[in-house]
Amino acid sequence: MTQFKPGEVVVCVDARGVYLTEGKRYKVNLIRDNGLVDIINDRNQRQGYTPKRFKRSGEVGK
């Protein structure tokens, strides 16, 4: 599983069923104790998502 750091910019690769946009960049606010990545979504709400929905911006397309 990919480990992200707070403040890191990630790209959404799986937006099915959530308020995210595939290909859009998001900034990681923090990593929650349960392993979820805390992101501000397209509705301007903080929400925790599984790390498999994101890749680092340099890894997209690989």
Q: pLDDT for 16-43, tens place per residue?
A: 999 999 999 999 999 999 999 999 999 9
In this prediction the pTM is 0.87
The domain in which residue 34 lies consists of 9-57
What are 6's two structure tokens? 């707070």
Domain-embedded: residue 20 = yes
Domain-embedded: residue 37 = yes
Domains held by the chain: number? 1
Domain-embedded: residue 3 = no
Q: Judge residue 52's burial from the number of C-beta atoms within 10 Å of its C-beta, 0-12 exposed, 13-18 middle, 19 or more buried.
A: exposed
- Residue 37 phi, psi (nearest 5): -90, 125
pLDDT over threshold 90, residue 54: yes
Q: Do 45 and 1 meet the contact criterion of CB atoms below 8 Å apart? A: no
Domain-embedded: residue 15 = yes
